[in-house]
């Protein structure tokens, strides 16, 4: 296991390097720059700003400087946030994004897994049909549409929750619900399909023939094996939720990483874009590694050879 972990961690280096190269090239190929304003700056001012931030250097030198600083834990500075370090900006937005992301992930698991399992156990019953309808509807409805529907119903019509903002617990409810709907539907579909496959295995039929109680068969023998495919999707889903939804954070005015990233893209804030993308990539890679480790916990038959 130790060699496997070391190998996976070492593989993250070329992955992050490749992502940083692609992001850097795309960022500089897009028309416009960080000094584009409604009121154009004087050419002399732009020249001084480019010299100050090293943007007059060749692209290879700019990239080499960024990589060298990143290896020391410095992701650069933001051009539009008064020269603040990008790391500081990310750490400021991370608690807000992570809070609604973890709540949404917990809701998705709490709804998706039981609904999918119940649909498989009660196959071709009204429970199954309800689960399929739930998964189909919420997988098809875009998150921003659901967000507006939640605002109209719960905020404007019923006056139960605020339409946006941050600072109070109730501010997290609507964005968490909007974020949780799609992963809950996806997890319910995966859990249903996985449980149906497991319930058709020979050892489950043997357990039935021995006269074991249905609860023992479903929850002691079938559930653990059925959760393995579910685990494979929880890593990317958790990474996506923790790193934030750009659109949802914009709609509900959540000062998280996603909203900062969108602002950085519109303002061509190269440092903020590069730092945020690398942070996203690192979180996804680490959570996928965590899921691989959990495989061996859920199913003792899975072992990673040294």
Question: What would the mean pLDDT of 127-153 be, rounded to a whole number?
Answer: 88
pLDDT at 300 (0 to 100): 60
pLDDT at 6 (0 to 100): 75
Residue 5 pLDDT grade (very low, low, confident, very high; cuts 50, 70, 90):
confident
Local structure of residue 169 (DSSP, 8 states): G
Asked if 221 and 204 touch (Cβ cutoff 8 Å), the reply is yes
- Plot region of 110 (φ>0 → left; ψ -120 to 50 → alpha; else → beta): alpha
Question: What would the mean pLDDT of 171-190 be, rounded to a whole number?
Answer: 90
Interatomic CA distance for residues 54 and 61, integer angstroms? 9
Local structure of residue 85 (DSSP, 8 states): B
Q: Quick check: 38 pLDDT over 70?
A: no
Interatomic CA distance for residues 273 and 87, integer angstroms? 12
Q: Which residues of 196-226 are buried (b: 16+ CB within 10 A; e: fewer)?
A: bebbeeeebeebeeeeeeeeebbeebbbebb
Interatomic CA distance for residues 230 and 131, integer angstroms? 16
Interatomic CA distance for residues 250 and 263, integer angstroms? 10
Question: What would the mean pLDDT of 116-143 be, rounded to a whole number?
Answer: 87
Asked if 287 and 236 touch (Cβ cutoff 8 Å), the reply is yes
Token pair, residue 167, equals 């600072």
Residue 281 pLDDT grade (very low, low, confident, very high; cuts 50, 70, 90):
confident
Tell which wins on pLDDT, 110 or 47. 110
Tell which wins on pLDDT, 211 or 16. 16
Interatomic CA distance for residues 161 and 92, integer angstroms? 25
| 192: nearest Cα among 143, 273, 121 | 121
Question: What would the mean pLDDT of 158-181 be, rounded to a whole number?
Answer: 88
pLDDT at 151 (0 to 100): 92
CB atoms inside a 10 Å sphere around CB 62: 17
Token pair, residue 70, equals 């990143």
CA 104, 107, 113: angle at the middle one, nearest 5? 130
| 20: nearest Cα among 52, 53, 68 | 68
Considering the segment(s) 93-256 as one domain, its CATH architecture is Orthogonal Bundle (1.10)
**Lowest pLDDT segment from 23-27, 50-54, 225-229, 239-243:** 239-243
Question: What would the mean pLDDT of 140-147 be, rounded to a whole number?
Answer: 86
Residue 243 pLDDT grade (very low, low, confident, very high; cuts 50, 70, 90):
low
- How high does pLDDT run on average in the chain? 82
Interatomic CA distance for residues 60 and 56, integer angstroms? 11
Q: Quick check: 90 pLDDT over 80?
A: yes
Question: What would the mean pLDDT of 151-168 be, rounded to a whole number?
Answer: 88
Q: Quick check: 298 pLDDT over 70?
A: no
Domain limits of the chain? 93-256
Residue 152 pLDDT grade (very low, low, confident, very high; cuts 50, 70, 90):
very high
Question: What would the mean pLDDT of 264-284 be, rounded to a whole number?
Answer: 83
């Amino acid at each position: 296991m130790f060699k496997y972990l070391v190998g996976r961690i070492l593989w993250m280096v070329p992955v992050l390097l490749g992502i940083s190269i692609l992001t850097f090239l795309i960022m500089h190929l897009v028309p416009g720059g960080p000094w584009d304003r409604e009121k154009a700056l004087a050419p002399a001012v732009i020249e001084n700003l480019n010299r100050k931030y090293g943007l007059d250097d060749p692209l290879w030198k700019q990239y080499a400087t960024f990589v060298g600083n990143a290896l020391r834990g410095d992701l650069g500075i933001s051009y539009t946030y008064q020269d603040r370090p990008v790391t500081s900006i990310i750490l400021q937005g991370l608690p807000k994004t992570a809070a609604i992301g973890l709540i949404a992930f917990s809701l998705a698991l709490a709804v998706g897994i039981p609904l999918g399992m119940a649909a498989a156990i009660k196959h071709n019953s009204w429970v199954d049909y309800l689960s399929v309808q739930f998964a189909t509807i919420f997988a098809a409805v875009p998150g921003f549409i659901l967000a507006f529907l939640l605002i109209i119903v719960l905020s404007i019509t019923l006056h139960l929750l605020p339409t946006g903002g941050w600072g109070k617990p109730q501010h997290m409810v609507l964005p968490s619900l909007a974020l949780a709907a799609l992963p809950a539907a996806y997890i319910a579909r995966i859990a249903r399909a996985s449980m149906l496959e497991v319930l058709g295995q020979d050892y489950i039929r043997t357990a039935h023939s021995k006269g074991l109680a249905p609860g023992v068969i479903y929850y002691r023998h079938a559930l653990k094996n059925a959760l393995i495919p579910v685990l494979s999707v929880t890593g990317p889903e958790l990474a996506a939720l923790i790193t934030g939804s750009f659109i949802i954070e914009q709609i509900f005015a959540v000062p998280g990483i996603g909203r900062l990233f969108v602002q950085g893209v519109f303002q061509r804030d190269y440092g903020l874009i590069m730092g945020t993308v690398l942070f996203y990539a690192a979180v996804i890679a680490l959570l996928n590694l965590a899921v691989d480790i959990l495989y061996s916990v859920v199913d003792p038959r899975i072992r990673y050879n040294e």
